[in-house]
Structure formats: C-alpha cells, structure tokens
C-alpha cells in the first residue's frame, strides 16, 4: 500500500491494553513521525480527559499532544455545545467526562431527572446504579433528548473482556422506545472530527483499529482506507477481513507495510 497522507489510530487494543503498551507501538509512532506522516488518536474512551490520556501515553514512552487526541467525551461535549447549547443536561458518565463537561461553555449539568432537557450517557462506570438508570429512563419518557458518547459492546481489559456502554444505551433505548444520538465511533461524525484535526480528506487517510465493526466499517464507508490489527479485539474476528485494506499482526508492523 502507498503511504497515506495521515493516519487515525484507535487507542485501546491498538497502542496499549489497560495502559500497558503493546509491542512495537512506541517504535511505530516514532517511525511515522520521523517520516513526516501526521497521525491522531480517535478513541471512545470516556473515563479520562485528553490531558490525562496524553500524560499516560507519555509515561509509556509514547508522547502524544492532548490536542491530537479526539475522545468520545470531547466530541460529545462539542456536539452538546452546538446542538443543545443552554439546555439542561443529566449526565451519567465517569468523573473525567464530568470534569470536561462542567468546564465547557454553554452546558448546564443537573442532578434531578425532572430538570433535564437532555440525557447524556457516557462510558461504563461502576458508579452508575439502577437508580441512575431509572432517573435517565424517566427523563426520556418525559421527552428529554437522548445523547450517548458511544455504544460499544465490549472492550479489552487486562483482566479480560469488559462490558462497554452499549449495555446501558441499548437498555435505555429498549425501555424508553427512544433512539440515542451516538457521537463516538462508529458514528461518522467522530471520524470527521479526527480528520479535521488531522487536516486531510477521508480518501487520503488510513484508519487503524482492532475492531472491524466498531473501528473500521464507518471509516471504509466514508472513503478512508483501513487497517485491522490482530491485537486487542482483533483475534476474535474472521481472517482475512474483507473490508480491511491491511490486516496486520500488530501496529508495530504498520511502518513496514507502508514502506517506511
């Protein structure tokens, strides 16, 4: 494959698992940077701010500027600022998402479901209880808009597969009869946000992920080239994957595959 003009990386399962770097990831980023090939991270992570993610990557030997990281949380906050500015938001999410949302202009966070104009659901978090879901359900039944940062089924953790936000989003959709507006992958808007940071058109970019459904399907549909890596979730999918332009054992093999 000819080298693209820019690369969008999924993070968990591609560069690291549980903030333990995957073999070859650090060197791959060094080689791509030295070759002058720009890259950004697009992740459905909602449990950490971009600044925290940047710091954690640096600790692993993969320094990455916060402004080159697009998270499902940051993209959702930008969406709320555009589409629901000034409206009251019942946010069920991790502390990091609360931190970013509370600091954002034009978003008013509320605690009572009776006050909510919008229900916004973040990632999976042990602090989300049945009572919280009940409050979100009641707000939706009273007409609140429904926004979700992401709807992934599961994600790889150091202890094995973990339930992701999809279990909450689909449950509320089923119970309320309401369809959530999804902001993170695989929604096209998330990829366009990453491409805007990257500064290239879809046809000139390569999406690298470990999940051909959640990471690569939309990228392929909007005209990006795709690379499936067999770390993280990758081993659980059929090989070869029909819509992957590259199918690699790990991200460490990417520079060689691009002729770098």
pLDDT in tens, 40-72: 999 988 888 999 999 999 999 999 999 999 999
142 alpha-carbon distance from chain centroid: 29
Q: In the structure, what pLDDT confidence band is assigned to residue 3 with cuts at 50, 70 and 90?
A: confident
Plot region of 19 (φ>0 → left; ψ -120 to 50 → alpha; else → beta): left
Q: Answer yes or no: are the C-beta atoms of 3 and 212 closer than 8 Å.
A: no
Q: In the structure, what pLDDT confidence band is assigned to residue 164 with cuts at 50, 70 and 90?
A: confident
Residue 62 resides in a domain: no
CATH number of residue 17's parent domain: 3.40.50.1000
Provide, rounded to the nearest whole percent, the portion of the chain with pLDDT above 70. Answer: 100
pLDDT, residue 189, reads 87
103 and 170, same domain (yes or no): yes
> What's the domain range around 164?
83-182
Q: Is the dihedral of CA 149, 127, 86, 66 positive or negative?
A: negative
Alpha-carbon distance of 221 to 216, in angstroms, equals 9
108 and 141, same domain (yes or no): yes
pLDDT, residue 254, reads 97
Residue 54 resides in a domain: no
pLDDT, residue 127, reads 82
Q: Is the preceding peptide bond at 61 cis, omega within 30 degrees of 0?
A: no
137 and 174, same domain (yes or no): yes
| DSSP H or E segment with residue 93 | none
pLDDT at residue 182 above 90?
yes
pLDDT, residue 168, reads 92
Instruction: From 164, 182, 200, give the residue that closes a domain.
Output: 182
Q: In the structure, what pLDDT confidence band is assigned to residue 183 with cuts at 50, 70 and 90?
A: very high
Helix, strand, coil shares of the chain, percent, nearest 5, are 40, 20, 40
225 and 152, same domain (yes or no): no
Residue 59 resides in a domain: no
pLDDT at residue 19 above 90?
no
Residue 68 resides in a domain: no
Alpha-carbon distance of 131 to 48, in angstroms, equals 24
Determine how many CB atoms are found less than 10 A away from the CB of residue 177: 9
Residue 66 resides in a domain: no
pTM above 0.75, yes or no: yes
155 and 243, same domain (yes or no): no
pLDDT at residue 105 above 80?
yes
Instruction: From 182, 199, 233, give the residue that closes a domain.
Output: 182
190 and 178, same domain (yes or no): no
94 and 168, same domain (yes or no): yes
89 and 163, same domain (yes or no): yes
Q: Answer yes or no: are the C-beta atoms of 100 and 80 closer than 8 Å.
A: no
The helix/strand/coil state of 122 is: coil
Q: Answer yes or no: are the C-beta atoms of 176 and 169 closer than 8 Å.
A: no
pLDDT at residue 259 above 80?
yes
Alpha-carbon distance of 122 to 168, in angstroms, equals 9
pLDDT at residue 2 above 80?
no
- pLDDT tens track for 106-119: 999 999 999 999 99
pLDDT, residue 229, reads 97
168 and 210, same domain (yes or no): no
Flag the least confident range among 109-113, 164-168, 171-175: 164-168
pLDDT, residue 128, reads 85
201 and 153, same domain (yes or no): no
User: Between 129 and 140, whose confidence is greater?
Assistant: 140
251 and 178, same domain (yes or no): no
Provide, rounded to the nearest whole percent, the portion of the chain with pLDDT above 90. Answer: 78
Give how many domains the chain has, as a whole number.
2
Instruction: From 160, 182, 204, give the residue that closes a domain.
Output: 182
Residue 131 resides in a domain: yes
245 alpha-carbon distance from chain centroid: 21
Mean pLDDT throughout 199-222?
96
113 and 142, same domain (yes or no): yes
Residue 110 resides in a domain: yes
Residue 162 resides in a domain: yes
pLDDT, residue 223, reads 97
- Pull the structure tokens for residue 194: 């990453």
């Amino acid at each position: 494959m000819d080298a693209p003009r820019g690369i969008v990386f999924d993070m968990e399962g591609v560069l690291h698992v549980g903030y333990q770097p995957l073999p070859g990831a650090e060197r791959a980023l060094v080689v791509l940077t030295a070759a002058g090939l720009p890259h950004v991270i697009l992740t459905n992570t909602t449990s950490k701010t971009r600044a925290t993610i940047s710091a954690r990557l640096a600790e692993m030997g993969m320094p990455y500027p916060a402004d080159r990281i697009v998270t499902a949380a940051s993209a959702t906050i930008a969406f709320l600022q555009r589409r629901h500015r000034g409206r009251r938001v019942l946010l069920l999410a991790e502390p990091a998402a609360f931190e970013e949302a509370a600091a954002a202009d034009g978003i008013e966070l509320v605690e009572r479901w009776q006050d909510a104009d919008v229900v916004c659901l973040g990632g999976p978090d042990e602090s989300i209880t049945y009572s919280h879901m009940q409050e979100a359900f009641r707000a939706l039944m009273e007409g609140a808009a429904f926004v979700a940062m992401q709807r992934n089924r599961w994600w790889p953790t150091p202890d094995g597969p973990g339930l992701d936000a999809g279990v909450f989003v689909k449950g509320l959709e089923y119970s309320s009869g309401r369809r959530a507006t999804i902001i993170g992958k695989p929604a096209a808007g998330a990829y366009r946000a990453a491409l805007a940071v990257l500064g290239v058109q879809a046809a000139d970019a390569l999406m690298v992920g470990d999940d051909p459904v959640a990471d690569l399907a939309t990228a392929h549909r909007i005209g990006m080239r795709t690379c499936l890596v067999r770390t993280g979730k990758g081993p659980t999918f059929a090989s070869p994957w029909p819509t992957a332009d590259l199918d690699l054992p790990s991200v460490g093999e990417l520079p060689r595959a691009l002729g770098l």
